[in-house]
Amino acid sequence: MNADDFTTLHAAFRAAAEAAPGNAFLAVPPRPGRDYDAGGREITYGEALAAVEELIALYRAAGYGLGHRVALLMENRPEHFFHLLAFSALGISAVPVNPEYTHDEMLYQMAHSEADLAIALPGRMAELRAVGEARGTALPVVDAVRLPGNLPRAPRPPRNTKPDRSSELGLYYTSGTTGRPKGCITTNDYFLKAGQCYLEETRKGIVTITDASERLLNPLPLYHMNSGVLSITAMILSRNCQIQPDRFHPSSWWYEVAETRATIIHYLGVVPPMLLNQPEGPDEKRHRVKWGLGAGIEPELHGQFEARFGFPLIEGWAMTETGRLYVAATEPRHIDTRAFGRPTARMEGRIVDEDDAELARGTAGELLVRAPGPDPRDGFFAGYLKDDAATEEAWRGGWFHTGDTVIQRADDMFVFVDRKKNIIRRSGENIAAAEVEACIAGDSRVAQIAVIAAPDALREEEVMACIVPMPGTDGDEALADDLMARCLEKLAYYKAPGWWLFLDKLPTTGTQKVQKAQIFPKGEDPTKRPGIIDRRDRKKRVKR
């Protein structure tokens, strides 16, 4: 199916379901002890369509439609997609909630998005009700597992127009450089073009996708665009199946891959080293995987992985703002580098200096991207919610500024170098240093704070806090523990610094802005600095 033939994601899904009702649409790997689908589950397109139609009737009866937003706190359960598809039919926008969010983070998201309703797992309902009370406007919360026969009434009538490609379908929050996450507005057009781009880029070079025969296992969270937008839309357009585990489990990964008959897998850079560190077992030999797609594998591990497990890992690049992606699927792939693809018919790219002047091949600079043709924003995100200034700044000169430092080789291949933005990338999560700094700076014992990325062999990067204590305050383990507890209370666990270092002073400019690049000499590993405090073992996922 071609994405251009449909006005909404729901219309594309309905066409797929009517053409192949018996095809598998969603699958859940078996996992004993999980509180849902412990024995695994398979959902056909026909079964999913029936569930989606029931939800459409339920939301419509309660008055929800174009102009409303509904928060979804359903972790990685397949029913998330039933609600999303129903929203597409009605013009509702989904606001996926990171299940690791604390009260303060959810309060910001619910207040900023002005969500009209929340659908949540039973164990999370009380938290969202407390968020609703704290934000000052009603936030009805509904049990996602046992939906009532009647939803709470919508607070206002929907807009009296029919949803189309320009209608908002999802509001995805992505870490920005100024503290709080930004809400990326995404439309039906964004979803459809993202899925179409995925199919086009994975049907060239050494990878293939065949209609109505693939099973794609994606362990990434549904509040990210990778699993929640990109791969699921591609599967719908090709009448294929998305396998949705609750998350990545290294010890049982190959069992899940083999049992679900996956032909494609998605990964993050943290996945290959974890799998290579697992002892060899029979499950890793009985899989059917043709290729994997992801980002961030260490170059020295790339060839090792492919040799041991018998299929290629295709490095790619995308952002929530872009929707579409680059993939390094054609040879030479340059797997000994961080190469991630070449410009495509759907996304142009160029490398520029600080003044946006184009640089020569082989010179590191910022990657700028745009859609070809008269509208450079075609198919990209529709803007940052309530932040037109940030949207226009990102699009200055008619190109989207990615904030990534990249080199373009003579053969057009892009090679990732570093992040220009003040973002820390830990196990696939983008963490805004400014958000962590704001949390720590709220403690009266902190005079100055700089949060930076420290190297981490397993997680790509780890959060590190460099702190100047207030006069009279000891920079010791007790203070580190207090500040760590503060971060774990107010932020998702992965945002808390794993490393803490107390210093007498931080380098600053004449305007007292901290110069992070000068805290440590070039080439020094900051985690080896005398006096550093390691609290990585306290960063643990909390069952909320």
DSSP 295-324: E---HHHHHHHHHHHSS-EEEEEE-TTT-S
Q: How many residues does the chain have?
A: 544
pLDDT (0 to 100) of residue 158: 97
Task: Kindly list the structural domains of the chain, giving each domain's residue range(s) and its CATH number in brackets, ordered by start.
Answer: 3-407 (3.40.50.12780), 424-538 (3.30.300.30)
Radius of gyration of the chain (CA): 23
Q: Which range, of 156-160, 407-411, 457-461, 530-534, averages the lowest pLDDT?
A: 457-461
Answer whether residue 245 shows pLDDT above 60. Answer: yes
Q: Specify the amino acid at residue 491.
A: L
Judge whether 466 and 509 are in contact, CB under 8 Å: no
Q: Which residue has the higher pLDDT, 425 or 509?
A: 425
**475-526: pLDDT as tens digits:** 999 999 999 999 999 999 999 999 999 999 998 765 567 888 889 998 899 9
Q: Residue 544 — very low, low, confident or very high, per pLDDT cuts 50/70/90?
A: low
**70-94: pLDDT as tens digits:** 999 999 999 999 999 999 999 999 9
Place of tokens 């390691």: 534
Q: Which residue has the higher pLDDT, 425 or 26?
A: 26
**194-223: pLDDT as tens digits:** 999 999 999 999 999 999 999 999 999 999
Give the pLDDT mean for 465-478: 95
pLDDT (0 to 100) of residue 7: 98
Please state, rounded to an integer, the average pLDDT across all residues of the chain: 94
Q: Name which of 221, 215, 230 is nearest 3 in CA terms.
A: 230
Q: Write b or e for each residue in 490-527: b if 16 or more Cβ atoms lie within 10 A of its Cβ, otherwise e.
A: bbbebbbbbbbbbbeebeeeeeeebebeebbeeeeebb
**129-149: pLDDT as tens digits:** 999 999 999 999 999 999 999
Tell me how far apart the alpha carbons of residues 324 and 243 are, in angstroms, rounded to a whole number: 21
Answer whether residue 179 shows pLDDT above 70. Answer: no
Tell me how far apart the alpha carbons of residues 483 and 488 are, in angstroms, rounded to a whole number: 9
Q: Name which of 403, 520, 515 is nearest 454 in CA terms.
A: 520
Q: Tell me how crowded residue 409 is: count the other CB atoms within 10 A of its CB.
A: 15
pLDDT (0 to 100) of residue 178: 52
Judge whether 186 and 382 are in contact, CB under 8 Å: yes
**291-349: pLDDT as tens digits:** 999 998 889 899 999 999 999 999 999 999 999 999 999 999 999 999 999 999 999 99
User: Who contacts 216 (Cβ-Cβ below 8 Å, separation ≥6)?
Assistant: 231, 234, 235, 240, 241, 242, 243, 262, 263, 264, 265, 266
Give the pLDDT mean for 390-395: 97
User: Who contacts 402 (Cβ-Cβ below 8 Å, separation ≥6)?
Assistant: 319, 322, 366, 367, 368, 369
pLDDT (0 to 100) of residue 508: 79
User: Who contacts 303 (Cβ-Cβ below 8 Å, separation ≥6)?
Assistant: 335, 336
pLDDT (0 to 100) of residue 504: 94
Tell me how far apart the alpha carbons of residues 321 and 339 are, in angstroms, rounded to a whole number: 21
Cis peptide before 332 (omega within 30 of 0): yes
pLDDT (0 to 100) of residue 123: 96
pLDDT (0 to 100) of residue 176: 54
Tell me how far apart the alpha carbons of residues 298 and 273 are, in angstroms, rounded to a whole number: 8
pLDDT (0 to 100) of residue 189: 98
- Under DSSP, the state recorded for 358 is B
Give the pLDDT mean for 246-255: 95
Helix orientation angle between 125-135 and 103-113, rounded to the nearest 10 degrees: 60
Tell me how far apart the alpha carbons of residues 309 and 16 are, in angstroms, rounded to a whole number: 33
Answer whether residue 190 shows pLDDT above 60. Answer: yes
pLDDT (0 to 100) of residue 542: 77
Judge whether 287 and 317 are in contact, CB under 8 Å: no
Tell me how far apart the alpha carbons of residues 346 and 189 are, in angstroms, rounded to a whole number: 14
**441-453: pLDDT as tens digits:** 889 899 899 999 9
pLDDT (0 to 100) of residue 532: 97
